[in-house]
Structure formats: C-alpha cells, structure tokens
Structure 1
Amino acid sequence: MKKFLLFTLKILISIIVLAVVLDFLYTTVYLQSTNRGKIEDVFNSKSRKYDVIILGSSRANNHFVAQMFEEKGLKTFNYGMSGGHLFEASLLLKLMIERNYQIKNVILEADLNLSNDHQAEGISAKFLPYLHKSEVIRKHFEQESDFNELYYIPFYRYIKYDTKIGFREIFKIVKCERTSALDNLGYYPLVRHKKGNMKNDIVNLKPLPHNKYYEEIKSICKANNINFIAVMTPMCENVVGMNYFDKVKKTYPEIHNYENVVVENKYFSSCGHMNDTGARLFTAIILRDFFNK
C-alpha cells in the first residue's frame, strides 16, 4: 500500500511539473506572436499613436474601411473582431492604454452587442495566454465563474480552449504562419457575389439598461482624453424588429444611429454585414459627419 501511494504521488508530481513546464513553453511562444491576430498584435506592442481606433464585432470589422481614413490623413486601425462582444472590445482598449497607446478617437460599433454583457468565449480565450502577464487581463477575468481554474491550475486554460489557443495554434506561431486578420489595416472586406442570410429577426433583442462593458469603454476614453464616437451600423432592408435601434437610442442617447444610411440589399453580403461596396459608402458618411473629410 505504501509503495502504491508513493507511486501515485510521483505520478501526480510528474503531471504537475509537466503542466507547469508546458504552460511556460506555450506562454513563451505566445509572447513572440505578432502576425496571427489582433489581440497578440496589441499585447506584443507598445507606444503606438493613432488618430482613429475602431472597436466592435464583425459589424465593425466588415463596415469600417480603415484605408479610407488613412487616405484622409488619419492614422487608423480597425480592431473589430468577428464574433466578439463588448467584453473583448473593452479589454482590448484597456490593453492599448496599458501599452501606452496614444489615441485621439475611438469609434465603437455599439448596437446588437448592447443586448448582452457576457464574453464571447471563442474570442476571449485568445487573451488567456497572457493571463499571468497582464494585470489588466487578470482583473478583467476575475469576475468570471471559471477564473480560479484558469488562473491557478497550470496549463488548464490551454487544455480547455485547445481549439483556440492549443497545440495547433502554437505550431502555426512557431512556423510563422500569418493570418489575414491584420491585412487592410484590420478591415475585412466582404465580396459582393457571395450572399449569406438575407433575412434577420431581431424582434426579441433588447438592449441592456446598463451594459457594463459599454460604460467601461466610455469611462476609459474620458479618463484618457479620447474622443468617443459610438455608432449603430447598417442592416439590410429585410430585417424584422428594426425598432431595436430606437430602443438603443432611447437607452443610450449618445449613440449615433446609422442603421438606415445604407439599406439596399445589393450593398450587403448578409443581412447584418455590408459588402465592400456598402462599407465604402458607409465609411464615407462617417468621415464626412465626424471628421469633415
């Protein structure tokens, strides 16, 4: 019995040591990653200067043509993340401040995501390699139900989110495989000839009366003298429940409603996402209205 317990103890210690070593190795690799995604790009950078930063979900990523801002003399990057919520947008802005970014304007796509204040696991997982390397990230995740396991159990976060930050991603970082996430200054154009779902029903969607992460973004901008521009972006003409945007405006009167400035289906790749032509029309309106360009 004594030998069995001793053997079991050795196995347990070996597993813990292996987990600690693997955690260290994976994290070290992520600390060298700069061309895989927007989160790594921000984390492994410092002291950048921007006239305009764009934040939000795919409806930011696909709707704001960063090159058009640049052509008007505004140094810009689109940090919209497909599938992301305001949870991730707020954290990304906090990281920029932690990295001493100098930002004049933040444009936030704030419409559909105002209806929730939870994380988008597929996106938030990409912050987790840096959980022990950033006070900002640690504090942002502290209130999450699985924080203790993620923070205190070595290698657990890499196992739990293996499909996002596990071995395959590590292998691609080591091989220096880049993605398209940072192309076009972060803007991801959708092609005209590929049509997605051209019907959308948002009747049951309701904006939260106080979205924690939206308010965080506002507060961060105010504290750092950043001009905060929150906008609702267009949806196609087939949407059912468009009064959602009226509800947003009533709850958050400072948000500018642009949901109807581009409506024809020919400008959309899917009902909630404009194609490149529509995005360029929309971006031109934003440049005119907020930057006199």
Structure 2
Amino acid sequence: MKKFLLFTLKILVLTVVIAVALDFIYTAIYLQSSNRGKIDHIYNSKNENFDVVILGSSRANNHFVTQMFEDKGLKAFNYGMSGGHLFEADLLLKLMIERHYKIKNVILEADLNLSNKHRDYGISSKFLPYLHQSETVKKHFSNEYDFWELYYLPFYRYIKFDERIGFRELYNTTLKKPTNTLDNKGYYPLIKRKGNMKNNIVNLKPLEDNQYYEEIKQICKDNKINLIAVMTPMCENVKGMDYFDKVKKMYPEIHNYENVVVEDKYFSSCGHMNDTGARLFTTRIIKDFFNK
C-alpha cells in the first residue's frame, strides 16, 4: 500500500511538472504572436494612434468599411469580432488603453449584444494566454464562474479550450502563419448571400445598465475618447423590430441606424449586410459624424 501511494504521489508530481512546463511553453509562444488575430495583434503592440476604432460583433466586423474612413484621412481599424459580445469588446478597449493606444473616436456597435452580459465561449478564450501576464485580462475574468481553475490550474485553460488555443493553434502560431482577420484593416466584406433572410428577435430584451456597455462608456469618458454608439441595419423580414425602439428608450445616446439600409439586395444574411450595403452604411456614418 505504501509503494502504491508513493507511486501515485510521483505520478501526481510529474503531472503537475509537465502541466507547468507546457503552460510556460504555450504562453511563451503566444506572447510572440501578433498576426493571427485581433486580440494578439493588440496585446503585442503599443503606442498606436487611431482617429477611429470600431468595436462590436460581426455586425461591426461586416458593416464598417475601414478603408472608407482612411480615404477621408482618418486612421482607422475595425476590431469587430464575429461571435463576440460586449464582454470581449470591453476587454479589447481595456487592452488598448493598457497598451497606451491614443484613440480619438470609438464606434461601438451596440444593439443585439445589449441583450446579454455573458462572454462568448470561443472568442473570449483567445484572451486566456495572457491571463497571467496582463492584470487587465485577469481582472476582467475575475468574476467568471471558472476563473479559479483557469487562473490557478496550470495548462487547464489550454486543455479546456483546445479547439481555440490548443495544439493546432499553437502550431500555426509557431509557424507565424497569418490569417485573413487583419486584412482590409479588420473589415471583413461579405459578397455572396449565404444566410437566412428571415429573422425573429421577438424574445430579445435589452438589459438595463449592461455592465460592459457601461464600462466602455466610462473608459471613453476617462480617456477623453468620443464614443459613437450605434445600432446597425437588419433586413426587411425581421419580427420584433421594436427591440431597437426599446434600446433607444433605455439608452437614448445610442444612434439608431437599423433602417438606414433595408432592401434585401444589400444583405448577405438577415443580420449582416453585404459589401455593397456596408459601403452605403459606412458612407452615412462618415457623413453624419466625420464631415462636420
């Protein structure tokens, strides 16, 4: 029995040592990456200057044509992330401040994501390699239900989110293999119709005092950044469009642009405009906020 216990103890110690070693190796490699995505690009940069930074979900990523801002002499980047929530947008902005970015204007897509205050399982995992290196990332995750094991158990976060930050991603990061995420200054154009042209948002309800939206507002105020919060268009066949009226009533400072582009020919799916629609929309945003 004594030998068995001793053997078990040795196995446990060896497992911990291996986990610590792997955690160190994975983290060290991710700390050198800056061309795989928007999160590592921000983390491994500093002292950037922007006239316009765009934040939000895919409805930001696919709707704001960054080059059109650049053509007006405005240095811009679209940091919208497909699948992202306000949890991730808030943390991205916090990281930019941590990395001493100087930003004049933030355009925030704030509409459907106001209905939740949860993190996106996949997108949020991309921040986890920096959990021990960044006090900003640590603090942002500190109230999450799984923070203890993510922070204190070595290598656990890489196992739990293997499909996002596991071996395959590590391999591509080691090879410095770029993705298309940073192309077009972060804007991702949709060309062909791929999705459903009907949508039902009847059950969506905007949350009053959404924590992450309020934090974004406070960060902008503290850092003298002009915040332009907008609701972006949806296609014609949507049930529950009064959702946008509820958002406007709850957050009157958010500009409602949901009906600026409406014809289905300008949409790739009901919630995402194609490139033509995005250019019409971006033209209107530039006209309303940057042609004064």
For the aligned pair, the TM-score class normalised by the smaller chain equals over 0.9
Equivalence map 1:19-168=2 (5 Å): 19-168=19-168
What residue is the counterpart of 1:204 in the other structure?
A: 203
TM-score of the superposed pair, with normalisation by structure 1: 0.99
d(CA) in 2 for partners of 1:240, 1:5 = 63
d(CA) in 1 for partners of 2:79, 2:36 = 13
Q: Give the CA deviation at 1:195.
A: 3.2
What residue is the counterpart of 2:277 in the other structure?
A: 278
d(CA) in 2 for partners of 1:3, 1:75 = 67
Q: Give the CA deviation at 1:51.
A: 0.2
Please tell me the residue identity of whatever aligns with 1:250: K
Q: Tell me, which stretches of 5 or more residues in structure 2 are unaligned?
A: none
SS at the partner of 1:16?
helix
d(CA) in 2 for partners of 1:119, 1:207 = 16
Please tell me the residue identity of whatever aligns with 1:98: E
The C-alpha deviation readout for 1:64-105, integer Å capped at 9, x for no partner, is: 000000000000000000000000000000000000000000
The C-alpha deviation readout for 1:232-283, integer Å capped at 9, x for no partner, is: 0000011111000000000000000000000000000000000000000000
SS at the partner of 2:9?
helix
SS at the partner of 1:77?
strand
Task: Tell me if the contact between 2:193 and 2:267 (Cα under 8 Å) persists in the aligned partners.
Answer: no
d(CA) in 2 for partners of 1:38, 1:121 = 16
The C-alpha deviation readout for 1:198-243, integer Å capped at 9, x for no partner, is: 0000011100011000000000000000000000000001111100
What residue is the counterpart of 1:220 in the other structure?
A: 219
The C-alpha deviation readout for 1:113-145, integer Å capped at 9, x for no partner, is: 000000001100000000000000000000000
Q: Give the CA deviation at 1:194.
A: 2.7
Report sequence identity in percent: 75
d(CA) in 2 for partners of 1:196, 1:87 = 26
Please tell me the residue identity of whatever aligns with 1:206: K
SS at the partner of 1:217?
helix
d(CA) in 2 for partners of 1:290, 1:17 = 55
TM-score of the superposed pair, with normalisation by structure 2: 0.99
d(CA) in 2 for partners of 1:47, 1:175 = 26
d(CA) in 1 for partners of 2:234, 2:203 = 16
What residue is the counterpart of 1:261 in the other structure?
A: 260
What residue is the counterpart of 1:177 in the other structure?
A: 177
d(CA) in 1 for partners of 2:43, 2:174 = 18
Please tell me the residue identity of whatever aligns with 1:283: T
d(CA) in 2 for partners of 1:273, 1:117 = 22
Q: Give the CA deviation at 1:58.
A: 0.1
SS at the partner of 1:231?
strand
Query: How many residue pairs align between the two structures?
Result: 292
What residue is the counterpart of 1:234 in the other structure?
A: 233
What residue is the counterpart of 1:16 in the other structure?
A: 16
What residue is the counterpart of 2:289 in the other structure?
A: 290
Please provide the CA RMSD for this pair.
0.7
d(CA) in 1 for partners of 2:180, 2:202 = 34
Q: Tell me, which stretches of 5 or more residues in structure 1 are unaligned?
A: none
Please tell me the residue identity of whatever aligns with 1:243: D
d(CA) in 2 for partners of 1:226, 1:254 = 15
SS at the partner of 2:228?
strand
